[in-house]
Structure 1
Amino acid sequence: MTTINRRRVEMAFLLRGALSILLAIALPVWALADHPQVVTDGPDQDAHEHGVLDPNKRPDPELPLIMRDSLSDEFVSSGPNAKVIKNLTPTARGTRLSPDGTTDVWVLGNYAYTGTFDEPCGGAFEAGIWVWDVRNAQKDKNTPVTIIQSPDGSRSNDVKAAAMNSGDILVHSNESCNGGPGGFEIYSVDDPEDPMWLASVQTDDVNAFLRDELGFQDFGVHNLFLFTQGEKDYVAAVVESEFGNFQIFDITIPTAPTLVGWWGAEQLRLAELGLGETDAADLDADDFGIILDLDAYLFDGFGASRNRFLHDVTITEDGQQAYLANWDAGLVLLDISDVTDPRLVSVALDPASEDGEVNSHSVWPSEDGSIVVEGEEDFAPFSTVFSITSGPAAGDYPAVEGDITVPIANLTPPVMEGPTTYAGLACPGDMVPPAPSSDSIALIQRGTCFFSEKIDNAEAAGYTGVVVFNDAARGDELVVMGGDPVNLPGVFVGHSTGLAIAGVASAADLVLGAPGASVKVETIPNGWSGVRIWDYTDPANPVLASTFNTECSANVIGPDCLDGGTYSSHNVIVESTEPDRDGERSVKAYISWYWDGMLVLDVTDPYNPVEIARYSDQSLEFQFENGGNQDIWGVYKTPGKPWVYGSDRNGGLYILKELGQGTLMN
């Protein structure tokens, strides 16, 4: 356990002891909160079992994607191409044949900038921001003119560049991938081929108590946005802290950045508690009960991925408003005319839309702000149905599939069922009772060792699947099992469900090797995710006008959708065209859509979005040339020009030309 974790656990024990009576009276809901998180259980049990407000419990924003990559990294498509609208065509590319290597893309002037995913982690020569000369968009091949290296042990997921008062400024995010720093870096790119480092910024929690007493410091930054107000320059950072995820830094003097303002979804909960004028940054040890309540709220959203942390932000050209894609808190509009005091304007939230997830991931408003396109990201295209099928406890119970287990949807038939046997903790060195039959499922208790070790040991003992249940200390909380990939299907259930399967009243009654009830687990397709189009005619009262999905994001098992593919929407940019002869403008959304490629939607009528262009190619020839399946992550649109830039996770940079409105091929 790290020093910070030890301090955090010790402080948490002291505070919980002092406030136990208060919490029992004031916060009964917190104790029952159900918020599945991606968790890698391991020997560091104190932090997992007892750590209150552990910053490490917040999952890596890209962990579900990393897990999907681990399950499909050897997959080669042989299926049909997606349906294509042939008026978005590639004209040039910047080749980077690195599987899952490239992240976001941004363009300033004659240069494009692309980020790097986990491999290689920061410190390697090729890890960091790749700088591409794109002056000739008709060139077949482009090579980087330089690489801005990431700090050792950190990845540069996001990159933004803009012409600011102090010159051309580039910022890139830092997220630890091997013990490196969080925060972000600031560079001058007045000469893009010779970037000049200006500053490193450490990003911490805005709450002094959490920061100084519990060690909530040096958090990663996931996304960034540059903007100006008059003669002042700013960068907005999406910080992976507990409170104040949206942080604004004054970079007017780029070598001396200063934190000036913040906001976080916890403010919505404070308003519900009648504490709307309270800033979460001001809470201290005397307010620990409130802090715990806010923590529970931030992890208790909707669907499979239930957190309410900020994921992305877009700020209007005049620097007056910020649109926050705040995951399960919804789409938040802030007035930031006073950057030191962001004010809530509205929240756009419809939990019933799409597939029951919210997952507000990306956002971009039209030029006049009347139309806003919000992208949802979802890596859980199947819902889990778990049943005890024998004995007095027969019925349906909450459960969640592991990220490391073999997807039940990939089994033939797509179901995990059979009798259970209690296998204890199933840790290395433990005696795991042999499976009594070829369809036996191991019932395993959480704790002491890694999930992957438990499941590997169950496989070695002859079991065909696993059900891991929570320990008594953590009760019926559900977590998504993380770690190294394993070869068995499996689900995680609450403590009471595990006891019901075993047919006992308490953990003290469990007997190693005892038979339990039979169980059945099925997964039902419920879609990937698309985009929501909002009518912001009245910014204080946004209305969900429509949603849009591709064939494969709507139908997980569609005949033209490739097994192992990722069909979630990702990032979006919205642009209004120049007025036509009648003075009318069109509003278009440019969307990177992973394996569906790059899409263009006409959202001029937000109640009737129409796809007008797509670049999609999953042919074997393309995969060979691209270094893997088409997997479009980032998007940038040159204002007023036909050029669309897409970053392919496997192939690098693509420059696309929009040829004109076409007709959807049915």
Structure 2
Amino acid sequence: MKQLKAFKLALVVISGFMAFSALAAPPPVVTDDPDDEHQHVISISDGLVRADPSAPLVAHDAAVADIISDAPFAKVIKNLAEAGRGERLSANSTTDVWALGNYAYTGTFNSPCGGDPDAGIWIWDVRNKTKPEFVGVIQSPAGSRTNDVRVATMGSGDILVHSNESCGGGPGGYEVYNVDDPSNPLHLASVQTDDVNLLLRDDLGFADLGVHNLWLFTQGAKDYVAATVESEIGNFQIFDITDPTNPTLVGFWGAEQLHLPGITDWVNLSDFSVILDADAFLFGGFGASQNRFLHDVTITPDGLTAYLANWDAGLVRLDISDVSNPQLVSVAIDPTSEDGEVNSHSVWPNATGTIVVEGEEDFSPFESQFTIEGAGPNAGTYPSSEGAITTPIAEEPGSEMSGQTTYVGLACEGASVPAGTGIALIQRGACAFTVKGENVIAAGYSGMVVFNNEAGGDALVTMGGTAVSLPGVFVRHSTGLAIMGVANAADLVIGAPGATITAAVVPNDWSGMRIWSYADPANPILMSTFNTVCSASPTDPSCDPRGTYSSHNVIVEGNKAYISWYSDGVVVLDVSDPVNPVEVARYHRAGSEFEAQNGGIQDVWGIYKIPNQPWIYASDRNGGLYILKEYGSGSAKNGKD
């Protein structure tokens, strides 16, 4: 029993800590209690294993909320025209869009959260494309949001599923409805999703976990839903919904299997050392947002092949002909492409499966660079995390904080801080970051660098609390020692001068698309990448600084990829030559008139294309549903930009 408790505590701290240290926007975990970050990281009672996948978007929303801009919008191509819209003027509220027959469905983000009558799936009658009509709301469970919605005709009728993620203490999992009559949806089932590993689920409470995305598919006479579950083990879970009133988990797969392919029974695995090894892999990765958890999935119409956008594990292709035992076919990954991230977020193959378009999502268009200057043995660049409470370095002259450091100890007592004018180097611990900041301001310093204590080691946290009026960053314990040129913390002397440092903020791009050749499904080859002006150049004067310029979701039909691209609107690429993708259409709106009509700047989240027709549905986070019509080459009739 003592061993179980010890391992349980280790897993709680390590898993939770790694979860938040993997995120980039905001980085690690925001805390104003520097000795207690693990309490802010994971709540086993709530079954939280990893951070909310939407947390970076929420952080970006907050970061740009107060920005005012009259920037022009980027160059656009005018052969997508607005035909009609379903108005929902509510900032950052609308999520995904999907459609079946004469009805379209849009989801709801964090606000309003479940329990509000407007929270849930909005139903739109779209028989008249120029004038869609609001039908009603399938309300989400109290305290939960509906990030994703899917609807398809299955053996038991027209089935709608929507995801549940907590936005106020509500349940995870997903809901199942019959929408043969969309004006009168019939609730069939509420499904709880848990970790597939019994030890994590039953002994550590990794249960009732959120679902971020869903996919409906059929194999023969059987109907299924695939769920992206926010679990530790087995993120890709397949449920048999042939009887939609009784969904049953029948299969799963997770990126941990890439790391430990020799494990044959992940359900009954009870060796903590193996679980912790898998955990370390899953919370590793590339660039700023390091994790290898599944984000989204697309399954081929025959129900035999699944493409998993598995974040820093890459683009995974599975053979799911046996849904109880998915088999790995290949992994498409190139960490050197784009901006050094992988962040596999969305995926869609062409009809033959020879070309696959993958979207990267990234909410960190700027990168903090921390450098020890000079020619000494410790000179170079080190990882850092800019403070949430400090003055943004981007607002400093030259977008940098630079100067010679002075070691000032813990800086918890104002009288103990030696006077200075450069950068205060502070050790973490004993008091809140706000207190440290106020004390070094009073002592005359113009910036601060806080380094982790020995107990925290080389972990990064984001300094939170009450705002202080100086720039500041947090660095690793070893970095603090390097600045002072000492081997051990015991060698530090308060008042001693340290190296000159520079903390700068530089553009690091948003994110775009990757186009892969699957001529050999076992050996995918990256053919090209594509970015818009704003996704490639965050500081381009044509880009509204309030905007989000990451790519989001994609659908491929024929030789075209239809992409929801947040503030770049809807972008259509011709990928017939995968080496040279060409933008052939865009729907982009900007300006005060549009913002008033839309409820805010353009912020397109979801995309749905009616097969073999020119109609496209797009969901705008601020404005609701847009129905677009695609025209041929040249400018669209009545096109707006």
CA shift digits 1:106-125 (9 cap, x unpaired): 11111111111111222111
Query: Which position in structure 2 is the counterpart of 1:192?
Result: 182
The alignment status of 1:230 with 2:226, answered yes or no, reads no
Q: Say if 1:104 and 1:51 are closer, same or farther in 2 by CA, change over 3 A.
A: closer
Once the two structures are overlaid, the 10-residue window that deviates more, 412-421 or 354-363, is: 412-421
Other-structure match for 1:518: 500
Counterparts in 2 of 1:291 and 1:483: CA distance versus 1, 3 Å = farther
Which residue of the partner structure matches residue 328 of structure 1? Answer: 312
The aligned residue for residue 333 of structure 2 is 349
Q: Give distance in 1, aligned partners of 2:10 and 2:295.
A: 33
> Deviation at 1:171?
1.0
Match of 2:61 in 1: 69
Amino acid across the alignment from 1:415: E
Change (3 A) 1:394 1:205: same
The residue identity in structure 1 corresponding to 2:267 is A
Q: Does the 8 Å contact 1:35/1:478 carry over to 2?
A: no
- Equivalent position to 2:609, from 617, 637, 641: 637
For residue 391 of structure 1, report the CA deviation from its aligned partner.
Answer: 10
Partner residue of 1:583?
none
1:412 maps to what in 2? Answer: 397
Aligned residues: 627
Residue 656 of structure 1: CA displacement? 0.7
Distance 2:145 2:441 in 1: 35
Q: Aligned runs of 1:104-183 on 2, under 5 Å?
A: 104-139=96-131, 142=132, 144-183=134-173
Counterpart Cα distance in 2 of 1:309 and 1:106: 24
Partners of 1:651 and 1:15 in 2: how far apart? 42
SS of corresponding position for 2:519: coil
- How far 1:517 sits from its partner (Å)? 3.9
Within the candidate set 268, 283, 294, 2:269 is matched to 283
* Alignment partner, residue 581 of structure 1: none
- Alpha-carbon separation, structure 1, partners of 2:170 and 2:440: 35
Deviation for aligned residue 1:662: 3.2
Please list the CA deviations of residues 499-547 of structure 1 after superposition, one character each: whole Å capped at 9, or x if unmatched.
3335554445656776644321123323111100011111111111111
Q: Deviations over 1:480-511 (max 9, x none)?
A: 56788876544332111123335554445656
For residue 254 of structure 1, what is the amino acid of its counterpart?
P
Q: What letter corresponds to residue 634 of structure 1 in structure 2?
A: G
Amino acid at match of 2:138: I
Q: Is 1:12 the counterpart of 2:15 in the alignment? A: no
Q: Give the alignment partner of residue 476 of structure 1, picking from 443, 458, 469.
A: 458
CA–CA distance in 2 between the matches of 1:247 and 1:206?
A: 9
User: Is the aligned partner of 1:300 residue 2:284?
Assistant: yes
Deviations 1:352-387 (CA, angstroms, capped at 9, x unpaired): 111111100000011111110000011122333211
Q: After TM superposition, list the pairs within 5 Å mapping 1:384-395 onto structure 2.
A: 384-389=368-373, 394-395=378-379
Distance, in Å, in 2 between the alignment partners of 1:135 and 1:333 is 36
The answer to whether the aligner puts 1:624 opposite 2:596 as a matched pair is yes
Per the alignment, in what secondary structure is the counterpart of residue 260 of structure 2? helix
Quote the residue 2:350 is aligned against.
366
Query: How far off is 1:201 after superposition?
Result: 1.0
Pick from 531, 534, 545 the counterpart of residue 516 of structure 2: 534
Partner of 1:662: 634
Match of 1:499 among 481, 501, 506: 481
Q: Deviations over 1:122-166 (max 9, x none)?
A: 211111111111111112xx4531111121111111111111111
Paired residue secondary structure (1:249): strand
Name the SS of the counterpart of 2:232 in structure 1.
coil
Q: 1:453 to 1:638 in 2, by over 3 A?
A: farther
In 1: Cα distance, 2:3 partner to 2:139 partner: 33
Q: Deviations over 1:622-661 (max 9, x none)?
A: 1121111101111111111111111111111111110113
Q: Matched residues in 2 for 1:123 and 1:320: separation? A: 38
- Over residues 283-331 of structure 1, what are the superposed CA-to-partner deviations in whole Å (9 max), with x where a residue is unaligned? 11xx222211111111111111110100000011111110000001000
Question: Do structure 1's residue 219 and structure 2's residue 191 form an aligned pair?
Answer: no
**For structure 2, which runs of at least 5 residues remain unmatched after alignment?**
none
SS in 2 for 1:58: coil
Is residue 594–residue 633 contact of structure 1 (8 Å, CA) maintained in 2?
A: yes
- The alpha carbon displacement at 1:337 in A equals 0.7
Matched, 1:595 2:579: no
1:443 to 2:433 alignment: no
Q: Quote the Cα distance in structure 2 between the aligned partners of 1:192 and 1:484.
A: 49
Which residue identity is paired with 1:96? R
Deviations for 1:378-419, whole angstroms, at most 9, x for unmatched residues?
Answer: 112233321123796651242233483655344432112234
Aligned residues of 1:82 and 1:617 also touching (Cα < 8 A):
no
Following TM superposition, by how much is the alpha carbon of 1:40 offset from its aligned partner in structure 2, in angstroms?
Answer: 2.9
Aligned twin of 2:301:
317
Residue identity matched to 2:117: F
Please give the alpha-carbon distance, in whole angstroms, between the structure 1 residues aligned to 2:483 and 2:50: 30
Residue 194 (structure 2) aligned to one of 200, 204, 211: 204
In 2, Cα distance between equivalents of 1:333 and 1:222 = 19
Equivalents in 2 of 1:85, 1:432: separation in Å?
63
Deviation at 1:247, TM superposition (A): 0.3
* Equivalent position to 1:93, from 82, 85, 95: 85
Aligned CA distance change for structure 1 residues 170 and 614 (closer, same or farther; 3 Å):
same
SS in 2 for 1:160: strand
Kindly tell me: are residues 123 and 13 of structure 1, through their superposed partners in 2, closer, same or farther at Cα, counting changes over 3 Å?
closer
AA matched with 1:650: N
TM-score w.r.t. length of structure 2:
0.89
The corresponding residue for 1:573 is 555
Q: 1:44 to 1:509 in 2, by over 3 A?
A: closer
Q: Which runs of 5+ in 1 are unaligned?
A: 1-5, 18-22, 24-29, 577-586
Distance 1:395 1:160, change over 3 A: same
- Is the alpha carbon distance of 1:251 and 1:494 closer, same or farther for their aligned partners in structure 2, counting shifts above 3 Å? same
Could you tell me the TM-score, scaled by structure 1's length? Answer: 0.86
**Correspondence for 1:605:** 577
